[in-house]
Amino acid sequence: MATLIELEEQVLQLPEDQRAFLAAQLLESLPAMLHDDDAGVAEAMRRDAELDRDPSSGMSLDEFKKSFGR
């Protein structure tokens, strides 16, 4: 059986459409990682709703970077 590294090397040689199909098949084979009852998803949905109500409560990427000294 091929190692993961060997498989990756082979897969990356496939045409783009075949890699996309394979990626979709692999993702579909995995269990759902996020659920609506997940705390992180709930927080993201809360923040999204907050931005919908008041867009001025958000910040640009540049503002975000400046707040962290970058």
- 1-10 pLDDT, tens digit each: 889 999 999 9
CA distance 45 to 19: 32
Q: What single-letter amino acid sits at 24?
A: A
Q: Give the pair of three-digit tokens for residue 36.
A: 């609506």
The answer to whether 11 touches 22, Cβ cutoff 8 Å, is yes
Long-range contacts (CB closer than 8 Å, 24 or more residues apart) made by 36-45: none
Closest of 51, 20, 43 to residue 12, by C-alpha: 20
Residue 17's pLDDT band, with cuts at 50, 70 and 90, is very high
pTM: 0.45
